[in-house]
């Protein structure tokens, strides 16, 4: 027999049922959204970006900074500068302006043979060809014997070679020119004073013995026993000149003994030309005679031989002259004196030396 339960069952209301149903539907929707999000999210973000081929990120410089210069008070100073704005970029440097290198001006082109020889001598000296440079300077000096410039360049070349004695000889030549040498006179004076001081100091320190006398007792080629100087074979170069009855140059090589320091001031050379008149009388010439050293100065420092060139030029007789003299070249005599002593003598033809014998001692004209 059924009996009633002691627990009373209460009936659920309609409002409660609707609320529970709404909560359940909301929960199911939330779970569905969460599941869809997990199902569609990317597995590897890096790979995704790589597959998209994104461009590399550019490194941008910081924006330029602007420095404002304080503005002057234009009311207080009407001449003040207007305000200026300086813009600088961080990390930038202003390159220095290039400094122009001064270019060496090329030497002026020579206008004559003298300037050409001087330029060639300097260029040869710079290249180290001292011997050829000396030849060029000496040739220039022959063209203009009173010009001290070639002599100064010779001295500078000898100094560069370390030949102080030879350089001193050139400076002494300029010094002897006096005021005619211009600015080179003062330079030569200074050079000689310095050389004199150095020579005195060197002599005091080293105390050298006196110079050894050269042995002249033995005869050598071209130089007789007892002599310091001699003559090598003399040659004659004939020249053609329509205005001259005869013209030629006599080349006289003068040889010194080896290791002899020549005192050029003590050297005297006589070159005498003779003519024959009317085919009978032999007299000293009336021709024009000029002489020069082939390699000035003649000092026998670079070698044992120096050559003297003597030019003979006999003019033709004047056609309108009342009496035309029949004069022709006959011959010459050459005499060499050193320290007033006869060193050697020669004549062409030989009979001239017999007709006019040389004195053994040079007469003293003082």
> Which sequence spans correspond to the domains of the chain?
113-206, 229-355
Instruction: Give the pLDDT of residue 32.
Output: 77
Instruction: Give the Cα separation of 54 and 150 in Å (integer).
Output: 83
Instruction: Give the pLDDT of residue 22.
Output: 73
Kindly report which listed range (85-89, 98-102, 160-164) carries the lowest average pLDDT score: 85-89
Task: Tell me which H or E stretch contains 203.
Answer: helix 183-206
Instruction: Give the pLDDT of residue 58.
Output: 45
pTM of the model: 0.45
Beta-sheet strands, E only, within 28-93 = 65-68, 85-88
CA dihedral 60, 61, 63, 65 (to 10 degrees): 170
Instruction: Give the pLDDT of residue 165.
Output: 86
Burial environment of residue 229 by CB neighbours within 10 A (0 to 12, 13 to 18, 19 or more): buried
Instruction: Give the pLDDT of residue 1.
Output: 46
Instruction: Give the pLDDT of residue 293.
Output: 94
Residue pLDDT, tens place only, 311-348: 999 998 887 766 778 899 999 999 999 999 999 999 99
Instruction: Give the Cα separation of 62 and 89 in Å (integer).
Output: 8
Instruction: Give the pLDDT of residue 332.
Output: 97
Instruction: Give the Cα separation of 220 and 216 in Å (integer).
Output: 9
Name the residue with higher pLDDT: 1 or 303. 303
Closest to 246 in 3D by CA, of 234, 254, 238, 236: 238
Q: How is 106-158 classified by DSSP, letter by letter?
A: PPPPP-SHHHHHHHHHHHHHHHT-HHHHHHHHHHHHHH-TT-HHHHHHHHHHH
Tell me if residue 175 falls in helix, strand or coil: helix
Band of pLDDT at residue 93, cut at 50, 70 and 90 = low
Tell me if residue 104 falls in helix, strand or coil: coil
Please tell me the total number of residues recorded for the chain in this structure: 366
CA dihedral 40, 41, 47, 51 (to 10 degrees): 50
Instruction: Give the pLDDT of residue 54.
Output: 46
Residue pLDDT, tens place only, 15-73: 766 667 777 777 777 777 777 766 666 555 444 444 444 455 444 445 544 445 455 55
Residue pLDDT, tens place only, 201-231: 665 555 554 456 678 889 999 999 999 999 9
Instruction: Give the pLDDT of residue 100.
Output: 64
Mean pLDDT (the chain, rounded): 79
Mean pLDDT throughout 105-125? 84
Mean pLDDT throughout 186-202? 80
Please, what CATH class does the domain formed by 113-206 belong to?
A: mainly alpha
Name the residue with higher pLDDT: 25 or 84. 25
DSSP conformation class of 100: P
Instruction: Give the Cα separation of 272 and 294 in Å (integer).
Output: 19
Closest to 240 in 3D by CA, of 177, 313, 191, 297: 313
Instruction: Give the pLDDT of residue 206.
Output: 52
Q: Is pLDDT above 50 for 88?
A: no
Opening angle at CA 131, ends 126 and 137, nearest 5: 75
Q: Per CATH, which fold does 229-355 belong to?
A: Immunoglobulin-like (2.60.40)
| Fold match, 113-206 / 229-355 | no
């Amino acid at each position: 027999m059924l009996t009633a339960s002691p627990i009373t069952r209460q009936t659920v209301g309609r409002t409660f049922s609707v609320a529970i149903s709404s909560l359940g539907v909301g929960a199911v929707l939330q779970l569905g959204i969460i599941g869809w999000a997990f199902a569609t999210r990317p597995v590897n973000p890096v790979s995704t970006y790589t597959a998209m081929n994104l461009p590399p990120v550019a490194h941008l410089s910081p924006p330029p900074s602007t420095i404002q210069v304080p503005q002057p008070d234009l009311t207080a100073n009407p001449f003040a500068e207007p305000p200026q704005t300086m813009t600088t970029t961080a990390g930038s440097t202003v390159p220095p302006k290039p400094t122009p290198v001064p270019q060496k001006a090329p030497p002026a082109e020579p206008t004559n043979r003298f300037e050409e020889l001087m330029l060639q001598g300097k260029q040869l000296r710079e290249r180290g060809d001292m011997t050829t440079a000396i030849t060029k300077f000496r040739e220039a000096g022959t063209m203009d014997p009173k010009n001290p410039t070639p002599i100064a360049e010779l001295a500078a070349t000898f100094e560069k070679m370390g030949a102080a004695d030879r350089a001193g000889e050139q400076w002494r030549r300029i010094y002897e020119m006096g005021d005619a040498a211009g600015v080179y006179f003062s330079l030569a004076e200074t050079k000689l004073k310095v050389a004199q001081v150095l020579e005195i100091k060197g002599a005091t320190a080293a105390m050298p013995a006196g110079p050894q006398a050269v042995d002249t007792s033995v005869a050598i080629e071209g130089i007789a026993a007892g002599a310091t100087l001699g003559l090598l074979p003399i040659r004659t170069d004939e020249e053609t000149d329509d205005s001259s009855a005869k013209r030629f140059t006599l080349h006289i090589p003068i040889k010194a003994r080896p290791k002899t320091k020549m005192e050029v001031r003590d050297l005297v050379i006589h070159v005498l030309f003779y003519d024959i008149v009317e085919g009978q009388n032999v007299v000293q010439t009336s021709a024009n005679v000029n002489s020069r050293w082939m390699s000035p100065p003649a000092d026998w420092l670079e070698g044992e031989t120096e050559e003297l060139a003597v030019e003979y030029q006999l003019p033709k007789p004047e056609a309108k002259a009342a009496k035309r003299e029949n004069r022709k070249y006959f011959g010459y005599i050459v005499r060499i004196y050193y320290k007033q002593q006869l060193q050697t003598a020669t004549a062409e033809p030989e009979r001239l030396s017999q007709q006019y014998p040389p004195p053994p001692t040079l007469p003293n004209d003082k």
